[in-house]
Amino acid sequence: MTAYFRIHADYVGRLGVEVGVFVAVDHLRRAGLLSDAQESLYLDIDDWFREALPTPPLYSDGNTLGAVTWFKRDTRVRADFAERLDALRSLLSAHGVPHRTSESDDPGRVVYEDDLQVGVVPRVRRLPSPPPFPAGTVLGPTTPGSKRHLSRKARKGPQG
């Protein structure tokens, strides 16, 4: 069994590698394609992972290394992780975003490691490919921290 796995969309993002599952769902959110219920589910899962996983320090400077994270194999068998990752994959499927799981014993040069994940600088980078969203959708770097303040509900105000 391989040491690491990563769930990602089949399109290449600004870092020159396939966009990870969290970023791919966030792209759907930013493009306004998630229903209110889907957006709420995504935000709940994203916040849960922010609590459950240490934040790699490589993100403190905006990820100037261009690193990506891979889960350690043992994380796959944790039911609390697996059910939430499956829910994110379901959101991608519901919107027709092709995605898959990649596995590797050597995903790149390790620049961060904790008990559950590694941050690596990929050995190969490619040119970004267009994401499967409406033309004209502008996608920048993913916002660090919770994204609840960016949700439709938050933008509408407390009376929503």
pTM summary value: 0.88
Q: Helix 36-52 crosses helix 21-30 at what angle (to 10 degrees)?
A: 140
Q: What is the pLDDT of residues 59-108, one digit of tens each?
A: 888 889 999 999 999 876 788 999 999 999 999 999 999 999 999 999 99
Compare 86 and 55 and report the one with higher pLDDT. Answer: 86
What would the pLDDT profile of 111-140 be if each residue is shown by its tens digit?
999 999 999 999 999 998 888 876 767 666
pLDDT computed for residue 142 by the predictor? 63
**Residue appearing with tokens 């994401």:** 131
d(CA 155, CA 52): 27
Where do the structural domains in the chain lie, given as residue ranges?
4-124+135-156
> Regarding predicted confidence, which is higher, 148 or 156?
148
